[in-house]
Amino acid sequence: MAKCAFLGLGVMGYPMAGHLKAAGHDVTVYNRTHAKAEKWSSEHGGGNGATPRAAAEGAEFVMACVGNDDDLRSVCLGEDGAFASMAEGSVFVDHTTVSAAVTRELYAAAAEKGISFVDAPISGGQAGAENGALSIMCGGDQAVYDRAEPVMDAYAKICRRIGESGAGQITKMCNQIAIAGLVQGLSEALHFAEKAGLDGRAVVEVISQGAAGSWQMANRYETMLDDHFDHGFAVDWMRKDLGICLSTANDTGASLPVTALVDQFYKDVQKLGGGRWDTSSLIKRLRALG
């Protein structure tokens, strides 16, 4: 078993750190709101640090799941950052969805200190984190990934190295691109059924068994029909991710017309006051249009 630190105890990080502790690892946590770190420690019995540096001291593996590029830099760099106390040969595993550019920046900064860095964004939502069944897509050196993978297994359904540093983040962008189109398509199908006077549940019962079936359909159609949108990844975070997708596409020359369109639809949802609604709330926009 390994000595670990976990930085960031949001809806994903909190249960992920718990799975590490339950698997027998020695876990110290850090959260910007320290009361949440103390709450985690009281529930799971692990330690907590007042700063990322304090939490990471002596850890073989430091995991992070924070908000965005700047949040990740803040927990890694500077006098109170994790890199300041991590020992040579230790591994930083980043589960945040961030740009491949900041991943490569921090990979290089870690290497200067003899620290290894794996980008390991996750998919599966809050339920996946709570159930220890996340999909983890990784970038970084093969030998380092081989060391980190058994530790990540505490909360993984599947964990794969896709390529060199940044490859995990690019793969997560593929994930978000695919989700955006699927949720918009599902929203339009359910809205169309409603306007035509059909029973949405009966429609989905039939079409979900054919080529239209998807995870989004199986897990979100009922709450969409019931107008409940507090069951998953928030619109604000999805727009952050789609912004990274579109920026990267601009850099690489990729064409993402559907992604760009759905990003604007999510902007409309934010204007409706739905920034904290889950991503399936695209149907709210269609209903608002009449």
Catalytic residues: 172
Largest CA distance in the chain: 64
- Among residues 119, 79, 116, 127, the alpha carbon closest in space to that of 96 is found at 119
Cα-based angle 157, 241, 200 (whole degrees, multiple of 5): 70
Give residues with Cβ within 8 angstroms of 65, minimum separation 6: 6, 7, 8, 10, 12, 13, 16, 95, 96, 122
Helix, coil or strand: residue 45:
coil
Task: Report residue 121: phi and psi, to 5°.
Answer: -60, 160
| CA atoms of 257 and 160, how far apart (whole Å) | 28
| CA atoms of 116 and 141, how far apart (whole Å) | 8
Cα-based angle 94, 96, 97 (whole degrees, multiple of 5): 125
Helix, coil or strand: residue 248:
helix
| CA atoms of 27 and 31, how far apart (whole Å) | 13
H-assigned helices in the chain: 13-22, 34-44, 52-56, 69-76, 100-112, 125-130, 142-152, 167-195, 200-207, 215-225, 235-252, 257-271, 282-289
